[in-house]
Amino acid sequence: MTAPDEPPRRLPVPVRLIARETIGSFLTRLAFANSLHVAHLLSLARISRARSFTPATDDTAGWSPSAPDMIAALAGRSLPDLAAAIPLLAGMAPAGTALLRACGHCTAKKNVTGMVITRASPRDYLCARHQQWLRGIHRPSLASLPEVADSQRRHDRRTANVPDQDIARAHRQAQDITSQWLASGWHPALTERWQHRHHRLAAAIPGLEAVLTGVITHPEMLAIARLLITSQRTPGIRPQDIADRLSFPYPGRPHPLDPLHKYLSQ
Binding site for other proteins (CB under 8 A): 1-2, 7-14, 33-36, 40, 43-44, 69, 72-73, 76-79
Cβ pair 119, 22 in contact under 8 A: yes
Q: Of 17 and 204, which CB lies nearer to other proteins in the complex structure?
A: 17
Q: Of 82 and 222, which CB lies nearer to other proteins in the complex structure?
A: 82
Q: Of 59 and 69, which CB lies nearer to other proteins in the complex structure?
A: 69
- Whole-number minimum distance, CB 73 to other proteins, in Å? 5
For the chain, count helices (H), then strands (E). Answer: 13, 4
110-115 — which CB contacts under 8 Å span 24+ positions?
Answer: 110/16, 110/18, 111/16, 112/15, 112/16, 112/18, 112/29, 114/28, 114/29, 114/32, 115/25, 115/55
- Whole-number minimum distance, CB 106 to other proteins, in Å? 20
Q: Of 71 and 221, which CB lies nearer to other proteins in the complex structure?
A: 71
- Whole-number minimum distance, CB 40 to other proteins, in Å? 6
- Whole-number minimum distance, CB 104 to other proteins, in Å? 20
Cβ pair 185, 252 in contact under 8 A: no
- Whole-number minimum distance, CB 3 to other proteins, in Å? 12
- Which three-class secondary structure string do you get for 25-48? HHHHHHHHHCCCCHHHHHHHCCEC
- Whole-number minimum distance, CB 78 to other proteins, in Å? 6
User: What letter would DSSP give residue 206?
Assistant: T
Give the integer Cα–Cα distance in Å for 138 and 99. Answer: 14
Q: Of 72 and 228, which CB lies nearer to other proteins in the complex structure?
A: 72
- The alpha carbon dihedral of 139, 143, 148, 152 has a sign of positive
Task: Report residue 39: phi and psi, to 5°.
Answer: -60, -40
Q: Of 73 and 86, which CB lies nearer to other proteins in the complex structure?
A: 73
- Whole-number minimum distance, CB 88 to other proteins, in Å? 18
Give the integer Cα–Cα distance in Å for 177 and 18. Answer: 34
Q: Of 10 and 199, which CB lies nearer to other proteins in the complex structure?
A: 10
CB atoms within 10 A of CB 259: 20
